Amino acid sequence: MKTIIEPFRIKSVEPIRMTSRAERQVLLAAAHYNLFALHSDDVIIDLLTDSGTSAMSTKQWAAIMLGDESYAGSPSFQRFEAAVKNLMPFRHVIPTHQGRAAEAILFHILGGKGRKIPSNTHFDTTRANIEATGAEGVDLVIAEGHDPAAIHPFKGNIDIDRLEAFLDAEGDAVPCVMLTVTNNAGGGQPVSLANIHAARDLAHRFDKPFIIDGCRFAENAWFIKIREPGQGERSVVDIVRAMFDGADGMTMSAKKDAFANIGGWLALNDDALAERARMRLIQTEGFPTYGGLAGRDLDAIAQGLAEIVDEDYLAYRVRTNDYICDRLDALGIPLVLPAGGHAVFVDARNWLPHIPPLAYPGQALACALYEEGGIRGCEIGTVMFGRAPDGSEHPAAMDLVRLAMPRRVYTQSHADYIVETFAELAARKDSLPGFRIVEEPKALRHFTAKFAPLG
């Protein structure tokens, strides 16, 4: 069959409150054109993030009831630890309340003034946790990773030559080498198995621990299976194990590829590092058998990890984004191509050339999608990255809108509705207004800035 259906049935539903365009115009103005200020029940299709927004399965909800809330030694922890080690056989698995808590603990130990940490592209919380210690995050993704239209099967790859040159020049300042799979900040693009192993071997040649940010490890493994020569016959579980083979640690947000609404972990092989991480965990998160989580959350993650490597699910997951991208592409809408694993990224700067970067084309498109169809996406561009620490403002490298797909939440008719909303916008895109910022905080302005339309 050509149609890849949602490989699940719906047993429990959450109603969507339908709104009219006139209502949304009022709501948008009241939110000062910042979609983070909207109430989520005023949103028809919420594509703000794929993080923590997954639909849990019947077995996950059943596992929630089996959660054991003992402070120490809970069997929920043992089930969680076994599920992680089944896929990623690290010696130490340290639960945290979400991914950034794992990052904070890791860089509390490995960061510090003068240190430099290379990756393909650090996600913003990773970078923030590195910088909070006085260290510097350095992005070394391949050149294709910066070009929305460049077709490459693994646009998330780290540039091995640049990494080698960097380690040669800066080796003494480097406490570890990182790699983010998939590369969220670069469009949800995968990293090939060959590239993961080359980065690992290079890190080890320079005696550096190799740490994977594994938030979307299963989507990455699926791309390896379908795109990387010689990998097509392997099971996803086998590929996941190969991805982490020889790695020295990982950070993880279970809010992504573990189908959980909350959770994460830090995994390490080195006993001394793990000991220091657990000391910090006890200070900031909790006892090492629960981290920042309830026992029931650990059980939901354990069950989610068994489900995320299901190949029918992954085929459907990646196909959803391809389906939307194929149709948007046919409408002439510029995209980050090929489609990423967890989101569709629209190149707003390129689609709305009448709006200059400092009039925020990504914000303009995000607002128009909400007004037109009640769809909430997220600007990733000059609003998010344009304000420098010295107060000056510059265009970001790209002005994108990310439409992140919650896992197992929306169906194909929702996808068709998203496409139809774009088709409606296409007819009047040249009249969409740019925006100016009327109020903004000192940092992370995209969350709370207030905007006004121009003209």
Please identify, among the stretches 77-85, 110-118, 123-131, 319-327, the one whose residues bind ligand F0G according to the rule CB under 6 A: 123-131
Please identify, using beta-carbon distances, which residue of 42 and 213 lies nearer to ligand F0G.
213
Of the candidate residues 215, 239, 240, 324, the single one contacting ligand F0G (CB under 6 A): 215
Q: How far is the CB of 23 from ligand F0G (least distance, A)?
A: 27
Of the candidate residues 54, 120, 184, 192, the single one contacting ligand F0G (CB under 6 A): 184
Of the candidate residues 123, 166, 259, 385, the single one contacting ligand F0G (CB under 6 A): 123
Count of residues near ligand F0G by CB under 6 A? 15
Integer Cα distance of 376 and 451 in angstroms: 16
Are the CB atoms for 171 and 149 separated by under 8 Å? Answer: no
Binding mask 45-64 for ligand F0G (x = CB under 6 A): ----x-x-------------
Of the candidate residues 111, 186, 190, 264, the single one contacting ligand F0G (CB under 6 A): 264
Q: Which two tokens stand for residue 394?
A: 């510059």
Please identify, using beta-carbon distances, which residue of 78 and 125 lies nearer to ligand F0G.
125
Integer Cα distance of 70 and 90 in angstroms: 24
Contact call for residue 213 and ligand F0G (CB under 6 A):
yes
Please identify, using beta-carbon distances, which residue of 341 and 374 lies nearer to ligand F0G.
341
Chain position whose Cβ is nearest to ligand F0G:
99
Please identify, among the stretches 73-81, 93-101, 204-212, 447-455, the one whose residues bind ligand F0G according to the rule CB under 6 A: 93-101
CB 441: neighbour CB atoms within 10 A? 11
Binding mask 281-320 for ligand F0G (x = CB under 6 A): ----------------------------------------
Write out the residues near ligand F0G by the rule CB under 6 A.
49, 51, 98-100, 123, 125-126, 180, 184, 213, 215, 253, 255, 264
